[in-house]
Each structure stands twice: as C-alpha cells, then as structure tokens.
Amino acid sequence: MLKTNKNIFYILLFLSMFAWGASWVNVKVLSEYINEFQTMFLRFFITALTMIPIIIILKKSFKIDFKTFCLVVITSIALILYMKYFFLGTKYGTASLAGAFVTTLVPINTFLILALLGKRKIERKDTIALIIGAFGVMIMLRIYTFDASSIFTLHNLYFILASIFWPIVTILSSKSTKISPVVFTFYLYVVTSILNLIFFVDITNLPFNEFDLKFWINIFTLTIFASTFANTIYFLGIEKLGAREVSSFIFFVPMSAIILSAVFLKESINFSIVIGTILTLISISILNNIKVRKRKNR
C-alpha cells in the first residue's frame, strides 16, 4: 500500500514538472494579450484564491509573524523582477530556449550564490560540474557561431537576469522557518498581487473584451495547473519523500518545455538547445548529488 501511494506521488510529481514546463508556453501565448505586470497580477491573484481551500484542507495555519511578513515583502520584490524578465525573455525569444535555459541555469546560479555567501563549499567535483554547465550554457547560446548579434540579444540577457533573480527568491524563501512553505507561498502571491496592483496594473485597462477561449485556457493552465497544483505537490513531495528525491524530477521541466513548445507553438527543436540542456542537467545532477537510479537494498 505504501509503495502504491509512493508511485502515485511520483506520477503527481511528474505532472507537476510537466506543468512547470508548460508555463513557458502559456506565458508565450499570454504575451500576445497582456503585458508582464498584468500577467503577474492575474496569475498570482487567481492562484492565491485557489490556495485558500488547499491550506484549509491541509490544516495549515494562516498565522504569520511580522518578521516573516517582512521577508515575504522582500521576496515579493525579487519575484516581481524574476517574473518580469521571465515574461520579456519568453515574449521576445522562444519558449523552448526560455524553458531550457532558465530552468537549468537556476540551480547552477543558486549553487554559485550560496558559494559566494559561504554557505556551500566548492569541491573538485563541483568545479567539474560548473565547467560542464558552462559548456552547456555556451552551446545553448550558440557561442560556436561567433555571431555577436545572435549571442548578445536582449532576450538572452532577460533569461540570464531571470536565472539570477529566481535563486534569490528561493534563498529568501528558505529563511522562513516559522510557517509552512505552502502558507509562505500563499502570502508571497498575495503581496506580489497587491504590489502589482498598486504600482503597475490598472484593472480598468485590462482588455477583457479581447480575452478569448485561447487566453482563458492558458490562464487556467498557468494558474491552476502550473502554480496551485504543481507547487502544492512539490511542497508535499518534499515533506513526504525528501528534498533530494524530489529534486531529481526537475529534469523533466526543460524537456517538457522544449517538447510542448514544438507541439503548440511550432517551434523547431534546436540541436543546440537539446545538447546544451543535457550538459547543464548533468552539471545540476553532480552539483546536487542527484542519483536518478537508486540501488536496491540487498
């Protein structure tokens, strides 16, 4: 029975990673209708509403202390910056490159930031992993073409900035130890929605009359599937299975982004993106000591 429940959780985690990969496609489509701040507001406002019953079902407390709330506000600012560059990079670039490049570069940048802060020690294997990751990134950026106009594009800069701000969001979020990660995320989405509403979004200017079925399908997928469902399963997975086992599922995110971009956006599956993604995933597995295959107990 226990093994059956674990297998079900594996399926749910796979679907969660699949949803995260699909989010790049969703944002690419939504960029045809609304800007980055409007997307942020709708995504996080709707997601926060749908998280309320989940928090109640999980019997988590909504109580939050002042120090944690201040941390939520600071993290929200980093999240807004991440989402801005995530959106702009995907809008002006391709969803496949966005999903592969940012998703694989984030864990590498997280490791580097923690190393700079003195929280991680760089060992010999880590140096090798970082070199492999660097080659992967260079291949995805097609450095070998020696074409500056295609390498130093604006959307590539947006991707790099997004891959820097998300580790900041992750590191700041990890500082919260007094409330459940699900509850912290809920308040993060609430505060992010409010900040967008105060400084960047005028609801009366949202083009609701232009929102067709295609728009609402992508909003639904982005909020309910990629945010509410995927985040909840991810946090529950960490509690039930452990962070290391759950982290191995991250491999499905870039690949699903590439495949879904080809299916729904008709983007070509670029050889450089696939090879670069594989190299960066190898780098991530070494840095985080991820073992995809587990040895059976004898």
- What does the pLDDT look like over 89-101, one tens digit per residue? 999 999 998 999 9
Which of 77-81, 103-107, 128-132, 146-150 is the most confident on average? Answer: 77-81
- What does the pLDDT look like over 189-213, one tens digit per residue? 999 999 999 999 999 999 999 999 9
Domain chopping of the chain, boundaries: 13-287
Residue 293 banded pLDDT, cuts 50, 70, 90: very low
The secondary structure of 99-156 as a DSSP string is: HHHHHHHHHHHHHHHHHHTTSS---HHHHHHHHHHHHHHHHHTTGGG--HHHHS-HHH
Higher pLDDT, 189 or 122: 189
Residues 38 and 171: their CA atoms lie apart, in Å, by: 26
pLDDT value, residue 40: 97
Residues 156-179 have a mean pLDDT of 92
Closest CA to 94 of 245, 267, 228, 218: 267
Q: Long-range CB contacts (< 8 A, 24+ apart) of 140-145?
A: 140/97, 140/100, 140/101, 140/272, 140/273, 140/276, 140/277, 140/280, 141/101, 141/276, 142/272
Q: Which amino acid, residue 43?
A: R
Residues 48 and 31: their CA atoms lie apart, in Å, by: 21
pLDDT value, residue 2: 47
End-to-end CA separation in angstroms for the chain = 21
